[in-house]
Chains A and B, each alone.
Chain A
């Protein structure tokens, strides 16, 4: 009897000892499935002979070739570069400007901050829908200008093949610049006051102090915000769907739209998977160098401190 009792005790003891590992099991199993199995699965589908239905037999890399030969895809990838760079630069620029304005000891700071940041809480579907109404000639700015008597006024960017992508950029910046502002403002507030004072005593103007002293000292924040926003840009899907549906023509198509279209509209599962893998590659191109750089920097800091 006492024997089984100690046995029982040791089992509960064992559970106690490994509790931290045990509670992690569901998450680790889920993430292993999600991150590893799902990725390999899609990777495999991209080199399979799948069409309308998944088919596990190996079909080679032909779908990647076909993808890169299709005009739609090259336009989508090109759009990603134009949209991504303008979106990130625009959000950083406006975010910095707003952060500097709010940093001038303005009254009602919380109110301004809330106004600039609220778009972050709003879905891309809502954002895209409203801005489509504003930009569309039949419902928005152009009609309003005609109404006011300026009959020759034209504002049809959203229906213009060459300009529609910039509508996506403007809308994207509306959504993201508050996020940039919040992080940059926090950075400005963390800058050492003595450094700024020294610059002022030296007779530097406000603009010069910001340009030469304050902003350069918080550049890691700019880098972090840029990486986060680039990630958003690469994953962009809903905004374009609600705003332009990729059109007119294919002028605002982005890679995520091509993936959806190939997988669920055209029944080309293998090529859709190949396109999904290319999105992953784009993310890796942004994130891996950043991660390496961050760990390099952290190690450097540890060395100088130790």
Chain B
């Protein structure tokens, strides 16, 4: 109780007079609002211009009050606009990204959970060296792997396919998921595992009965990290796929470079929002857990 009291008593602003406190609060909220404008402006500009007539945008630019609003550019962006020879809008590329990000996220998360569990709870000789090797994958720049990947994808027949990108993202992601899960499972008391082993439980039984029920927080962190990272990735998509097989990030860049004549900025803005939406939704829904996981890892 006493502790709670001191915590409430402590207010960084309580040292001044009432008047000073009010000015301080005004300054704080004023600054927060100013920064919010800086952070939200791009999103607001995108949203507004995705519904504005093109003549408006061409005449007055992106920063202006719209004269009228329409959802037709969203329909065009999704289904009928032409990008690099195909006129199916971004729907196709959106599906490509989904078909790439979902399997790669699931496979790398499942393997990361098992790896992390094996490395943290079944310590064997050489485990630390293996862990070190796996962690190195986090830091390796993609540029070091481009030509070898091109060769590997070519020789197993996965050049210019979404499956090829799934393979790349799964392997690259394994180092992140194993690192996250291993560090998370280190906090699970070893006595719990020991007791289960005395009761005759084996590797998989302990995994199912003890580890998995404790895992939802780290699964959420890993899934958000992997999904947003894979969905937003650009370099591999650009180097290893082309035309109709591209994920949405690469298609967007092809889109903005392919225009001859007047650019359909409003349709482009709608397409840009569509490409940002899945990770944004996941972040807003699960962000609270993500921040918690992120900070737990860093503060400790």
Contacts and interface: CB of A to CB of B under 8 A. Distances in A.
Interface in A101-138: 101-106, 110, 112-127, 129-131, 133-134, 138
Contacts of B232: 122-125
B130 A113 contact: no
Majority secondary structure, A binding face: helix
Interface string A205-229: 1100110000000000100110000
Contacts of A67: none
A23 B268 CA distance: 46
B11 A124 contact: no
Contact of B6 (A28, A101, A197): A197
A260 interface: yes
Interface string A275-286: 111011001000
B133 A35 contact: yes
A167 interface: no
A182 B4 CA distance: 24
Contacts of A264: 239
B249 to A, nearest CB: 5
A242 to B, nearest CB: 6
A24 B252 contact: no
Contact of A38 (B114, B145, B228): B145
B42 interface: yes
Interface in B264-300: 265, 268, 272, 275-276, 279-280, 282-284, 287-288, 291, 294-295, 298-299
Interface residues of B, number: 89
A42 B45 contact: no
B139 to A, nearest CB: 6
A183 B290 CA distance: 12
A86 interface: no
Contact of A54 (B122, B145, B151, B256): B151
B186 to A, nearest CB: 14
A185 to B, nearest CB: 8
B280 A280 contact: no
Given A35-B133, A104-B28, A113-B291, A238 B234 contact: yes
A276 B144 contact: yes
Q: Identify the interface centre among A112, A125, A276: most chain B CB within 10 Å of its CB.
A: A125
A103 to B, nearest CB: 7
A106 B31 CA distance: 12
A109 to B, nearest CB: 10
A263 B147 CA distance: 8
A256 B145 CA distance: 13
Interface string B33-57: 0011011111101100000000001
Nearest to B178: A27
A141 B130 contact: no
B133 A32 contact: yes
Contacts of A277: 144
Contact of A280 (B10, B35, B141, B298): B141
B87 to A, nearest CB: 21
A118 B32 contact: no
Q: Which 10 A-B pairs have the closest CB atoms?
A: A123-B232, A186-B295, A20-B122, A143-B61, A121-B283, A144-B63, A276-B143, A238-B234, A20-B118, A130-B42
25 contacts: A19-B204, A21-B124, A23-B203, A30-B171, A30-B174, A31-B133, A38-B148, A41-B147, A42-B144, A42-B147, A54-B151, A101-B28, A115-B36, A118-B43, A123-B232, A123-B249, A123-B275, A123-B279, A139-B265, A144-B63, A197-B9, A197-B10, A206-B12, A237-B234, A287-B139
